Structure 1
Amino acid sequence: MTRITKAVFPVAGLGTRFLPATKAMPKELLPIIDKPIIQFAVEEAIGAGITELVFVTGRNKRAVGDHFDANLELESQLLAKGKKELRDLVRNIVPEGVSCIFVRQPEPLGLGHAVLCAAPAVGNNPFAVLLADDFMQGETLPTAALVAAFDQKPQNLLSVSEVSAEEVSKYGILRPGERGADGLISVKGLVEKPAREDAPSRLASFGRYVFTPEVFAVLRTLKPGAGGEIQLADAIDQLAEAGKVAAISNPSQRYDCGSKFGYLTAIVDHALAHPDYRTRFLDLLRDRLTGPGCSQ
């Protein structure tokens, strides 16, 4: 059986919801305290056994590659100033044995098209897809859970969570089948952003996937969907109708860092869990909530 060693990171989006901050800086490099969002996704993939990272980039995304590339000048300066710990931190962003490949998406033709652009780098191998906007925290992260499920039964897999009825119009919603004894949910279809009254369930697919290479054949034949783009959700729906998709429950806490409030929530919760900042940050919050001028 072929193990999953490749992961695709679509990072070509413009990040318009965070303008003007993202005018010159990729949204994927927005920090959660001192680490960019994309690095958390990369660490999640590496923790799941991924050794080949495929970044699908677009215009003005060179900084993403620079972040994961070596910076010998910076490392030399840090070492000269006696800051070996910081030098090691910078040097080990991508650990030894893990490689990075950068592929260009020439036009912003949708998430499905971005994944298709990675086909030459992925080849005839199963692979994971991680969307950096979905920041995950927990003891077990979704990519590790997906890879483990694939090891047990190789197939296309989605990570899903239940959302409120008010939120179904924001996500791809499953038409679920039966849940097996192994915890896998058969997927009969995927409806992209349905109206509340039309949603077939409240199980939403988020930005973590595992695919077999057959998804590329589907993406190549897809016609443009919503927004005139090649939609990954449409490819998943087609595979699901053929009985080739299953889902597992997301075992972690997800933050939607594609929205400003989700991004702010991620920063707050990460600070509250951080051993260096937790106590001082709690004191700061208490001070702000009880200080002069605070309305209860």
Structure 2
Amino acid sequence: QPRGLGHAIACARGAVGGEAFAVLLPDEIMGDSSLIKQLADQYEATRSSVVGLKRVPREEVSSYGCVTTTAAPDARGIVQVTGVVEKPRMEDAPSDIIIIGRYVLDAGMFDVLDALAPAPSGEIQLTDALLARALEGQLTGIVSDIERHDTGTPFGWLEAVIELTLKREDVGPRLRGWLESRFR
């Protein structure tokens, strides 16, 4: 039975050991791998957990974890995260900055996850663990403009398939022609 993303990550403790580790959610497709490298570099510089972040239209924040920060991002997009809210209502969202499915987490995150009580849903929420780290001053984020596709919804999946297929040299022109023929 699913017990939440936090529980799934906690189950990896034996495989990860005492090292920092990356989490890449498979339903979030990024345009390239540059963000995970930036997160790893930031972890190396601070030795604290780092999350990938993105600004989105306000009406989208209720589908994601949303953060508060101490200040605007620096020139590299880095912010100190001070709060995390899981899927807030649009009118209650503390910002328009969401967590996207890329993380580099410190090994101590396993202890934080183990200490969490389940959410009302019965799940162990990663956002609760991230909030704990944020309140300790141990969570930074990188606000990125990376191309991102959320395939966790039917429309998001369709959008990703079409957009990414259009970029392919082998089938993109054929798909483009087919789409254009449908809208003439």
* Counterpart pick for 1:156 among 49, 61, 64: 49
What letter is aligned with 2:154? Answer: K
Q: In the alignment, does 2:65 pair up with 1:176?
A: no
Listed as ranges, the matches of 1:147-296 within 5 Å are 147-178=40-71, 179-180=73-74, 182-290=76-184
Q: 2: CA distance between counterparts of 1:145 and 1:183?
A: 10
What are the superposed Cα offsets for residues 7-66 of structure 1, whole Å, 9 maximum, x if unpaired? xxxxxxxxxxxxxxxxxxxxxxxxxxxxxxxxxxxxxxxxxxxxxxxxxxxxxxxxxxxx
- Find the residue that maps to 2:118 and give its secondary structure: coil
Q: Shift in Å at residue 181 of structure 1?
A: 5.5
Q: Shift in Å at residue 144 of structure 1?
A: 2.0
Contact 2:76 2:142 in 1 (8 A): no
Structure 1 counterpart of 2:36 = 143
Q: Normalization by structure 1: what TM-score?
A: 0.59
Contact 1:142 1:251 in 2 (8 A): no
- Find the residue that maps to 2:137 and give its secondary structure: coil
Q: 2: CA distance between counterparts of 1:181 and 1:274?
A: 32
| Greater relative contact order structure (CA < 8 Å, 6+ sep) | 2
Q: 2: CA distance between counterparts of 1:259 and 1:226?
A: 23
Assess, with a 3 A threshold, how the Cα gap between structure 1 residues 278 and 181 changes in structure 2: closer, same or farther.
Answer: closer
Contact 2:77 2:144 in 1 (8 A): no
What are the superposed Cα offsets for residues 94-131 of structure 1, whole Å, 9 maximum, x if unpaired? xxxxxxxxxxxxx4211100000000110110000011
What letter is aligned with 1:239? Answer: R
Contact 2:40 2:104 in 1 (8 A): yes
Q: Name structure 1 gaps, 5 residues minimum.
A: 1-106, 291-296
Q: Shift in Å at residue 201 of structure 1?
A: 0.6
What are the superposed Cα offsets for residues 208-244 of structure 1, whole Å, 9 maximum, x if unpaired? 1010011111111100014111000000001101100
What letter is aligned with 2:36? Answer: T
Contact 1:190 1:237 in 2 (8 A): yes
Listed as ranges, the matches of 1:49-128 within 5 Å are 107-128=1-22
Cα root mean square deviation, aligned: 1.4
Q: 1: CA distance between counterparts of 2:77 and 2:89?
A: 28
What letter is aligned with 2:130? Answer: I
Q: Shift in Å at residue 182 of structure 1?
A: 4.8
Q: Shift in Å at residue 141 of structure 1?
A: 3.3
What letter is aligned with 2:78? Answer: L
Q: Name structure 2 gaps, 5 residues minimum.
A: none
Q: Normalization by structure 2: what TM-score?
A: 0.94
Contact 1:141 1:251 in 2 (8 A): no
Identity of aligned residues (%): 38
